[in-house]
Structure 1
Amino acid sequence: MKVIFSNITNNTFARSAAVGLAKAKLMAKYYTTIAVFEGNFWDKLSSITKLKEIQRRRFDPILEPYVKTRPWREIGRHIASKAKISSLTKHETGFFNVDSVSKELDQRVAKNLEKALDTGVLGVYSYEDMALYSFREAKKHGIKCLYDLPIGYWREAHRLLKIEQSAWPDWASTLTGFNDSKNKLAKKDEELELADAIFVASTFTANSLKAYPGKLAPIHIVPYGFPPVIDKPRDYKKDDSRKLRLLFVGGLSQRKGIANLFKAVEDLDEELELTIVGYKASQECKSLDQALKKHNWIPTLPHDKVLELMQQNDVLVFPSLFEGFGLVMTEAMSQGTPVITTDRTAGPDIMTHNKDGWLIEAGSTKALREQIEYLIAHPEEIEAAGKAAIETAKNWTWDDYGRKLTEVIENTLSS
């Protein structure tokens, strides 16, 4: 019993899922674009200063026997992005856009499925926008289609975010999730229709699939894991003269509730400092530009520096209005930084309100303001929540995620 796995990058959840399959002896092949292993071509190339970011594609050594790469279109995408040749990476139409990279990899998986039957392959595991061709081919050969939806379902996203367009018209340009063509949206629906099992990381994502206009395969909720916790004691001391330090990390879009956040902290300059880390989702939003001038804005930081910044702040604020999970929350909690988040993230799955974090109603500026004001008045509760967040993080690691996901996959293939 084996699984073919595919993902165009080496993000944390794909890597952890693949390692879990490999450890359980269920991995047949892992198709990707670029894979760095000790001493290979990509490892040597990444030693060049300007190409150092290739190191982000480093894979766990256990996966080396299984990995098959298709790098050239992905390389073209990065070169075009660096050179700022936007026509080549333009959404859906550019030769090197992310959809074309995904399509090419997906087609390669499909091409190799028939002969994979001889090696005991019973399933193909792939992700949204990366699965259509391999799933179509898998159906011809009785191979089960295992579908991973990292972000909530598009129909529900459109419904909820149209409300934001009306409520915050000055921020509408930051809501870029409406740019997909009808053809691309139809492909997303076909992937779901072909799936024999659907894997999501939060209850919110699972609930968003209720908007699908048809019958779906069983949905399995397996929350993503926490990174390693802080390896030194966290200092929570706060004297009366120091302001509450709030941190936001993420794309600067109203999908993340950024307008609600700026409104919630209005006129609280004497009580708090707000630091924002993230790229602008739009260069055409004057309201965003004006708000950023009032606070500490850092467009980008290396990941290790983000973790350090989390340790220097009191609370992470993540008021997202549509989020498949929200990895920034688990990162903050692992650093002892408790989180204020909404019921449209994985918050309800990974934290307990008033224990290791705080949950508020999505889209409610009033609820967000009240929670911030409460923490200004009760700073001692931040330390208790931060220590509890570390304990929560210890109890569900990325290894735990990989093992649990593998267990569910194995049960699915056996049924």
Structure 2
Amino acid sequence: MIVFSHPTLNANAKALIQGLFKNKILYKLYTCVAIFKGQVLYKLGVNPKLKDLKRRRLDKRWQKFTEVNSFFEFGRLIASKLQLEPLTRHEKGFFCIDRVYQKHDHWVATTLAKAKKEGVTGVYAYEDGAFATFTKAKQLGIKCIYDLPIGYWRMARLLMQKEFELNPEWASTLTGFNDSVAKLQKKDQELALADVIYVASSFTKQTLTAYSGKLAEIKVIPYGFPEVNFKKEYRSLEGRKLKILFVGGLSQRKGISYLFEAVAGLREQVELTVVGHKSVANCSALNQALEQHHWIPTLPHHQVLACMREHDVFVFPSLFEGFGLVITEAMSQGIPVITTERTAGPDLITEGEDGWIVPAGSASAIKEVLEKILEAPQVVQQYGLAAQRKAQTRPWSVYAQEMADAILSSKIL
């Protein structure tokens, strides 16, 4: 039996829980907020202003397996909504996300002795929320299953340091370098305690080559695709521009400057829509670029999918990405994707059939693909249909079963 721990839950965590539940190896699900049909909070979730509650809705069948400890996460949500920045300040605020993860981690650790007596043999936990849990698990002889959802931090610094030198005008958007030494050391300690490490892309596995110590076996199991329930209508490009879409945080980590540079020389033939929050408010290079294109700061998830269907090609030029769920989302909507080798793209896309992989940090490579599309616009439909067919072969249920099978076939149980 497996203890599953995740403070906030997301699509991939929920899929994995379903796999554990279906295969009858879920002992308990520990999280911060869990809402089930019939509860007052479930009904409140229909209010658009309370969309965070809707995201915490879980399968009713999981209710008897679920334990929650909500104080710090509710505090974080309320402080964020009220823009009480001192309370959510990185690593320092009383309700910061780091504290949410730490409190959750220590709480789960206190439950393991009882779990061990009731037959639990493994605990599944995620980066930044596993150290106390794994430390206690080792004392009790419980196996530690680690999930690393984004690339290893040392490799991120090695790769992204180049951007400070190559594109200093975009450097202020690289905000992911303010973790304390203590937090980074804890990441390494979590890795050292793991008995098996799961990642969702080959790129994430490659980043772990920067780890200096000995690691457990690393298994790559890509996430699933959203349900394919919409048939895209492909429009001729005759008499109109190629519609390009980007969705993601507006940071240089996403390679956003290279996209702007790629389309700069094609303004008469393409139009670019950018959906995402600015990582910082005062980057003049970013602000100037956004003025030249259609920028949408935020959209609900269902509207993001609808927006995807309205475009011809999706470009995701990320320089460092553990997976990139927007890739699978776009493909499921019948939109061919241009992305880099530093995402899950190589695990999902067959070059020349249903999408394109370009070198990270190359505006010219992105532009070259766009020019090929403009020369042979029929590939939009050809690749888009192929992308959607691939999405149909790997729904979230496939990921869930593959993960369950991997755990069942390991020495964890």
TM-score, normalised with respect to structure 2? 0.98
What's 1:32 paired with?
31
Q: 1:295 pairs with 293, 306, 331, which one?
A: 293
Alpha-carbon offset, residue 272 of structure 1: 0.4
Alpha-carbon offset, residue 50 of structure 1: 3.5
What's 2:195 paired with?
196
**1:226-245 correspondence to structure 2 within 5 Å:** 226-232=225-231, 234-245=232-243
Q: Aligned in 2, Cα 1:113/1:293: closer, same or farther, shift over 3 Å? A: same
Amino acid corresponding to residue 197 of structure 1 in structure 2: V
Alpha-carbon offset, residue 142 of structure 1: 0.6
What's 2:87 paired with?
88
Counterpart CA distance in 2 for 1:231 and 1:258 is 29
1:375-405 per-residue CA deviation (whole Å, 9 max, x = no partner) reads 1111111110000001100111100001001
Which stretch shows the higher mean deviation, 385-394 or 361-370?
361-370
1:106-139 per-residue CA deviation (whole Å, 9 max, x = no partner) reads 1111001011112110011010001010000000
Q: Aligned in 2, Cα 1:263/1:124: closer, same or farther, shift over 3 Å? A: same
What's 1:78 paired with?
77
What's 1:22 paired with?
21
Residues 122 and 412, structure 2, Cα contact 8 Å, conserved in 1: no
Alpha-carbon offset, residue 239 of structure 1: 3.7
**1:340-359 correspondence to structure 2 within 5 Å:** 340-359=338-357
Counterpart CA distance in 2 for 1:352 and 1:211 is 27
Q: Aligned in 2, Cα 1:327/1:47: closer, same or farther, shift over 3 Å? A: closer
Amino acid corresponding to residue 157 of structure 2 in structure 1: H
Amino acid corresponding to residue 385 of structure 1 in structure 2: Y
What's 1:259 paired with?
257
Counterpart CA distance in 1 for 2:141 and 2:168 is 49
Counterpart CA distance in 2 for 1:205 and 1:384 is 30
Alpha-carbon offset, residue 48 of structure 1: 5.0
What's 1:112 paired with?
111
Counterpart CA distance in 2 for 1:412 and 1:362 is 35
Amino acid corresponding to residue 357 of structure 1 in structure 2: G
Segments of 5+ residues of structure 1 without an aligned counterpart are none
Counterpart CA distance in 2 for 1:45 and 1:383 is 41
The SS at the match of 1:199 is strand
1:222-255 per-residue CA deviation (whole Å, 9 max, x = no partner) reads 00000111333x2112142110000000000010
Counterpart CA distance in 1 for 2:382 and 2:360 is 24
The SS at the match of 2:305 is helix
1:73-128 per-residue CA deviation (whole Å, 9 max, x = no partner) reads 11110111111111000000101000100111111110010111121100110100
Residues 123 and 413, structure 1, Cα contact 8 Å, conserved in 2: no
Segments of 5+ residues of structure 2 without an aligned counterpart are none
Is 2:247 the counterpart of 1:249?
A: yes
Residues 122 and 413, structure 1, Cα contact 8 Å, conserved in 2: no
Q: Percent identity?
A: 51
What's 1:385 paired with?
383
Residues 153 and 211, structure 1, Cα contact 8 Å, conserved in 2: yes
1:39-67 per-residue CA deviation (whole Å, 9 max, x = no partner) reads 12421443555324311111122321111
Q: Count how many residue pairs are aligned between Structure 1 and Structure 2.
A: 413
What's 1:409 paired with?
407
What's 2:371 paired with?
373
Alpha-carbon offset, residue 410 of structure 1: 1.6
Counterpart CA distance in 2 for 1:354 and 1:263 is 23
Residues 318 and 340, structure 1, Cα contact 8 Å, conserved in 2: yes
Counterpart CA distance in 2 for 1:355 and 1:239 is 20
Amino acid corresponding to residue 93 of structure 1 in structure 2: K
Amino acid corresponding to residue 41 of structure 2 in structure 1: W
Amino acid corresponding to residue 221 of structure 1 in structure 2: V
What's 1:395 paired with?
393
Alpha-carbon offset, residue 414 of structure 1: 4.6
What's 1:66 paired with?
65
Amino acid corresponding to residue 114 of structure 2 in structure 1: K
Counterpart CA distance in 2 for 1:160 and 1:103 is 28
The SS at the match of 1:177 is coil
Alpha-carbon offset, residue 10 of structure 1: 2.5
Counterpart CA distance in 2 for 1:381 and 1:350 is 18
Amino acid corresponding to residue 206 of structure 1 in structure 2: K
Task: Give me the CA root mean square deviation.
Answer: 1.1
1:274-295 per-residue CA deviation (whole Å, 9 max, x = no partner) reads 0000000111210000000000
The SS at the match of 2:121 is strand
